[in-house]
């Protein structure tokens, strides 16, 4: 058997063995890897992201996402999401953020869980991290939202997100470095007569994950993002920037995996001049905790 | 942190260690017989590599020689060396993969057997059709996935690391094993 015949035979054999795989296993909670699900493989995910504490008042919100991902080819996958929010917020008369005499979210009080919308995602792996040494993938996601993620108030929003994903394995894959360059464009029209707001947010995420024991990875990741905003009057203005970062822990099992990340806000632009605490707590919170669970079937 | 306590239960439950999935497919003796069925004796000849030898292996193979000690046996027939049987470990996606390689005295791969595959997926590398693509390889071959060794989608890391491991053992043979 010559090498070309062996190559063809082995490739055919591999196609016949439809064992579930975990190629798109998320080693970090926020920073994506470049691998895609192989052709015909499917994976279900549950994401829960807790957003905790603003400048004042009481603020707790959870973003909940249920995702189904499918591998169309070995290098192209798609996913659909069902999204929801849980809010338990009581900002009081001075509001949860901004200046005390003109606080943001003043008198906001909400305690409810709401289904908010759907998302669709497509991911294309251009280079494999293990075959080509540096993995590169393109990612696009569209979201329809009917709930304001911060306040829980109803409205209509659309979001388009694009990413370029890089993944570099070191130490034969025991250590992975992941980076994402992202851009997000969104619109939001509050229920009633409010104007439609537009925002564009570039973001850079990076992190490492190291396998310290069989099945277990410890990692750290962080990101910086900024947002420019058009509040509906046609003019664009810089709104804020922020930096988050923290540790993560990942477990990968036979049929499922889980990743837990804790990310406090390390720095950010103040919402107003009289709040010089070095954090942006209007659009973001003091910390986030994300749990992702993936299951193969 | 209002309303967060119930959510804390979920990560705690999720991070409970799952069951092990270690699968030993072949013992050392079985792997020896599979690769060198004609041998009438296997003589243990473990190699203790010096720092210089490990660096030389890494330089020439392009992958790290992680351990000082490598388990090696002389495969003999009628007292003559017919090849080297080497047990090795490489990184899999979640655990180490234990495999054996048989190398002929002239520096050519006689065969490869996967002995212990604790990985939770990607065990297609155990299939003879894939392992056979490594047979006959020498250091003159490219050792490149999808060029001279096929890749298995979803098991790319296992394919790459076993392939690179075999190449590393060919270099180790040149660096540390006698010609006869």
Residue A5 confidence class, pLDDT cut points 50, 70, 90: very low
In chain A, which ranges are continuous DSSP H helix? 3-16
Q: Identify the H or E element spanning A76.
A: strand A76-90
User: DSSP strand E in B68-156: where?
Assistant: 69-77, 80-91, 96-104, 108-117
Point out which residues pair with A42 in neighbouring strands: A70
Asked whether the predicted pLDDT for residue A210 surpasses 90, the reply is: yes
Q: Which residue of A has its CA nearest to B58?
A: A171
pLDDT attached to residue A13? 36
Dihedral, B161, B162, B163, B168 alpha carbons, nearest 10:
90
Residue A11 confidence class, pLDDT cut points 50, 70, 90: very low
ipTM score above 0.85: no
Q: Which residue of B has its CA nearest to A37?
A: B154
pLDDT in tens, B13-33: 334 334 444 578 899 999 999
Of A4-18, A251-265, B72-86, the least confident: A4-18
The more confidently predicted of residues B111 and A192 is B111
- Whether the CB of B179 is below 8 Å from some CB of chain A: the reply is no
Mean pLDDT of A114-120: 97
Q: Other CB atoms closer than 10 Å to residue A49's CB: what's the count?
A: 21
Question: Could you tell me if B178 and B109 are in contact, meaning their C-beta atoms sit under 8 angstroms apart?
Answer: no
A·B CB contacts under 8 A: 148
Give contacts of B148 with chain A, Cβ < 8 Å. Answer: 3, 7
Those residues of chain B that have pLDDT short of 50 are 1-21
Mean pLDDT of A77-92: 97
pLDDT attached to residue A273? 74
Q: Percentage of residues in chain A with pLDDT exceeding 90?
A: 78
- What global pTM score does this model have? 0.85
Of A128, A215, A293, nearest to B156 by CB-CB distance is A128
Instruction: Please choose, from the candidates A145, A165, A134, A136, the residue with its C-alpha nearest in 3D space to the C-alpha of residue A30.
Output: A165
Distances (CA, A) of B31 to A73, B99, B143: 36, 9, 23
Of A162-176, A217-231, B141-155, the least confident: B141-155
Give contacts of B58 with chain A, Cβ < 8 Å. Answer: none
DSSP line for A144-206: EEEE-TTT--EEEEEEEEEEEEEEEEEGGGTEEEEEEEEEEEEEEEESSSPPPEEEEEEEEEE
- Whether the CB of A64 is below 8 Å from some CB of chain B: the reply is no
Q: B1-6: long-range contacts at Cβ-Cβ below 8 A with a sequence spacing of 24 or more? A: B1/A52, B1/A53, B1/A60, B2/A58, B2/A59, B2/A60, B2/A88, B3/A60, B3/A62, B3/A86, B3/A88, B4/A50, B4/A52, B4/A60, B4/A289
Match 């388009």 to its residue by tokens.
A160
Q: At what angle do helices B51-61 and B156-176 cross, to 10 degrees?
A: 130
pLDDT attached to residue B8? 42
φ, ψ for residue A296, nearest 5 deg: -95, 140
State the smallest CA–CA distance between residue B118 and chain A in angstroms: 9
Q: Tell me the average pLDDT of chain A.
A: 90
Distances (CA, A) of A65 to A17, A119, B38: 31, 9, 59
Write b or e for each residue in B69-87: b if 16 or more Cβ atoms lie within 10 A of its Cβ, otherwise e.
Answer: ebbbbbbbeeeebbbbbbb
In the Cβ-directed half-sphere of A31, how many Cα atoms lie within 13 Å?
33
Supply angle C-alpha A69, A71, A73, rounded to 5: 160
3-state helix, strand, coil in chain B (%, to 5): 35, 25, 40
Of B95, B133, B160, nearest to A10 by CB-CB distance is B133
Distance CA B42, CA B31 (A): 11
- Whether the CB of A13 is below 8 Å from some CB of chain B: the reply is yes
Residue A17 confidence class, pLDDT cut points 50, 70, 90: very low
pLDDT attached to residue A24? 73
pLDDT attached to residue A269? 93
Positive or negative: CA dihedral A203, A46, A29, A297 = negative
Dihedral, B47, B52, B56, B57 alpha carbons, nearest 10:
30
pLDDT attached to residue A220? 98
pLDDT attached to residue A8? 42
Paired tokens of A285:
């919170």
A53–B1 C-beta distance less than 8 A? yes
């Amino acid at each position: 058997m010559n090498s070309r015949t062996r190559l063809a035979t082995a490739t055919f054999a591999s196609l016949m063995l439809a064992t579930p795989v975990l190629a798109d296993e998320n080693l970090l909670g926020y920073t994506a890897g470049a691998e895609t699900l192989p052709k015909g493989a499917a994976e279900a995910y549950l994401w829960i992201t807790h957003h905790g504490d603003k400048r004042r008042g009481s603020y707790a919100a959870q973003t909940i996402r249920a995702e189904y991902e499918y591998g169309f080819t070995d290098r192209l996958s798609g996913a659909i999401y069902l999204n929801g929010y849980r809010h338990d917020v009581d900002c009081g008369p001075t509001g949860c953020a901004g200046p005390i005499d003109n606080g943001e979210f003043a008198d906001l009080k909400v305690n409810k869980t709401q289904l908010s919308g759907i998302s669709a995602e497509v991911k294309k792996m251009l280079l494999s991290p293990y075959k080509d040494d540096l993995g590169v993938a393109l990612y696009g996601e569209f979201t329809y939202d009917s709930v304001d993620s911060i306040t829980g108030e109803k409205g209509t929003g659309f979001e388009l997100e694009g990413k370029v994903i890089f993944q570099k394995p070191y130490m034969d894959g025991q250590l992975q470095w992941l980076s994402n360059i992202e851009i997000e464009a969104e619109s939001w029209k509050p229920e009633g007569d409010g104007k439609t707001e537009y925002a564009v947010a570039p973001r850079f995420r990076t992190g490492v994950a190291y396998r310290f024991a069989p099945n277990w990875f410890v990692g750290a990741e962080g990101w910086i993002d900024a947002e420019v905003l058009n509040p509906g009057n046609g003019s664009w203005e810089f709104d804020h920037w922020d930096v988050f970062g923290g540790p993560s822990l990942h477990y990968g099992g036979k049929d499922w995996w889980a990743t837990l990340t804790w990310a406090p806000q390390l720095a950010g632009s103040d919402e107003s001049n009289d709040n010089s605490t070095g954090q942006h707590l209007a659009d973001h919170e003091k910390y986030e905790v994300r749990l992702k669970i993936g299951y193969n079937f | 942190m209002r309303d967060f306590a119930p959510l804390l239960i979920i990560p705690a439950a999720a991070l409970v260690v799952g069951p092990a999935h270690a699968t030993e497919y072949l013992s050392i003796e079985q792997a020896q017989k599979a690769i060198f069925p004609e041998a009438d004796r296997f003589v243990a000849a473990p190699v203790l590599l010096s720092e210089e030898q490990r660096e030389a292996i890494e330089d020439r193979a392009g992958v790290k020689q992680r351990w000082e000690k490598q388990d090696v046996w002389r495969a003999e027939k009628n007292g003559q060396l017919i090849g080297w049987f080497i047990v090795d470990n490489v990184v899999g996606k979640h655990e180490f993969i234990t495999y054996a390689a048989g190398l002929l005295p002239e520096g050519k791969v006689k065969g490869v057997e996967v002995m212990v595959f604790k990985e939770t997926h990607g065990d297609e590398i155990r299939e003879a059709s894939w392992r056979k693509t490594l047979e006959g390889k020498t250091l003159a071959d490219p050792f490149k996935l999808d060029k001279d060794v096929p890749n298995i989608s979803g098991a790319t890391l296992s394919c790459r690391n076993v392939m690179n491991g075999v190449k590393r053992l060919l270099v180790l043979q040149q660096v540390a094993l006698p010609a006869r």
